[in-house]
Amino acid sequence: MNTAKVNDSKFDKLKRRIVKFLRSGKSDVLEAVEVSPYGTDSVPVKNVVAVCSETSTGKPVVIGYLNVERKADVGEHRIYSTDSNAGEKFYIWLKNNGTCEIGGNADNAVRYSKLEQAFNDLKTDFNNLVTIYNSHQHTFVGIGSVGAVTTTGTSSSADISPAKINEIKVP
């Protein structure tokens, strides 16, 4: 097994990623098929260090890359994207405490249908109050001289707390 700096990558005719790398000097340029876990599709940035090996037929393959800034803890899984200079741009981090961070951890994600239901309940309650107010508007005008007027209505029971997802954090 060897390590080498990635220079470039491209697809071959079979849509396999071919990584071009410098093995031991400017004249030692090799191209190798990249292997990766199933379901993973990524392109290495220039100058990242590749780990290379050979197949049983002597063909070179890239089997991975050396990550220089690891952040995941025991039992965690983290995937991320970078710009062409290897600067992190976005991540998804499955934490060992049962949470998932999607791009950050400053806020909670929400269940849209639960939030929509609570909002619609509150909107209905508000509209009912407006209807009651409008139907008694003439009475409210002279409230100081006539005395207090009582109207019937119910308090809103809208509650958005079921929409909060504690297990998913977002920026």
Q: What is residue 79's predicted lDDT score, i.e. its pLDDT?
A: 95
Q: What is residue 138's predicted lDDT score, i.e. its pLDDT?
A: 54
Question: What are the pLDDT digits (tens) for 89-129?
Answer: 999 999 999 999 999 999 988 888 888 998 988 888 888 88
Q: Nearest CA to 160 among 106, 108, 119?
A: 119
Question: What are the pLDDT digits (tens) for 58-76?
Answer: 998 999 999 888 999 999 9
Q: Nearest CA to 67 among 101, 31, 102, 42?
A: 42
Question: What are the pLDDT digits (tens) for 16-66?
Answer: 999 988 877 777 788 899 998 888 899 999 999 999 999 999 998 999 999
β 29-34/60-65 pair status? parallel
The pair of three-digit structure tokens given for residue 149, joined into one six-digit string: 């007027």
Q: What is residue 139's predicted lDDT score, i.e. its pLDDT?
A: 54
Residue ranges of the domains in the chain? 2-65, 77-105, 108-170
Question: How many Cα atoms sit within 13 Å of 50 on the Cβ side?
Answer: 31
The pair of three-digit structure tokens given for residue 151, joined into one six-digit string: 């109207």
